[in-house]
Structures are given as C-alpha cells and as structure tokens.
Amino acid sequence: MRKPWQPQQPRSWWLRNPAYRRYMLREATALPLLLYTLLLLAGIVQFSRGEAAFATWLSWLQTPAGLLLQGIALAAALLHAVTWVALVPKILVIDSDRLRIDPRHVLRAHQLGALAGNLGLVGATLWLLWPAGGA
C-alpha cells in the first residue's frame, strides 16, 4: 500500500538558501519605498496645513531618523532598479523573422533610459528651483 510522505513548506523556507535570501531582499525593497511614499504623503498633508506645519516636516527630513529613512529608501530603489534591469534581457526578447535585436542592446537601452530619466528629473528639478533658489 502506498503511503507517501507529504512535505510541508516551512515558514522559514526563504532562510534556507542564499538564492532565496537574495530574492526576498529584492522583494523587500518595496517596504522602504512604502515608508518613503507615506513620508511624501505626510509632506503634502503638512503643506496643506500651512507654512509652519510644512517647515516642521522639512526640518524632520534633516533629523538622523529622517536621513536614515531616505538613505535606506534610496538604497532600496537602486537595488531594485539594478536587479530588475539586469533581468530585462531574459524577459524582453525581440527575435522574429522580421525583427531581431541583440539582447545586449536591449539591456543597454534600458540602462541608458534609466540614466536619462533620472538625470532629466534632477535637471528639471534644478531648473524649476533655480529662480527661487537665486531669489
């Protein structure tokens, strides 16, 4: 008579293997980004409450806790972006009878796109703030 043993996946499955731990780290980058989003939302709420409230929020950003949160969020965003872009050539394969693009070019295009987007954002912010900053 058959009596197979049915294994149960332990809750700690992701601790058992470095590959799983790397995966969980990538997924966990969502958490600091959630906190950062809440921080920005709080900023908008404080802004609607008047200048004093907004100034308090701005000064909180420069406390050690504020800087730590922003630092972790930046590191998480970078880690997520780098690991995700590295996976792109495995997902986006353009190869048909009519059109074939070298996977390395697909990867380069994504890296350049990310770089251009971020530089553009920083540039646009500086450009918008310039007159106010100079005044």
Interacting residue ranges for other proteins, rule: CB under 8 A? 1-7, 9, 13-14, 16-17, 19-20, 23, 27, 87, 90-93, 95, 97, 100
Smallest gap from residue 44 Cβ to other proteins (A): 32
Output 6 or 48, the one with its CB closest to other proteins.
6
Output 7 or 133, the one with its CB closest to other proteins.
7
Smallest gap from residue 86 Cβ to other proteins (A): 11
Smallest gap from residue 133 Cβ to other proteins (A): 42
Smallest gap from residue 90 Cβ to other proteins (A): 4
Output 8 or 62, the one with its CB closest to other proteins.
8
- Say how far apart CA 26 and CA 20 lie, in whole Å: 10
Output 51 or 97, the one with its CB closest to other proteins.
97
The distance of Cα 66 from the centroid of its chain, to the nearest Å, equals: 18
Partners of 100 in the β-ladder: 95
- Say how far apart CA 16 and CA 24 lie, in whole Å: 12
Sign of the CA dihedral running 39, 45, 51, 52: negative
Smallest gap from residue 71 Cβ to other proteins (A): 27
Output 20 or 47, the one with its CB closest to other proteins.
20
Q: How far lies 89's CA from each of 84, 117, 124, in Å?
A: 10, 20, 30
Helical axes 64-91 vs 51-61, angle rounded to 10°: 70
The total of other beta-carbon atoms located within 10 Å of residue 132's CB is 7
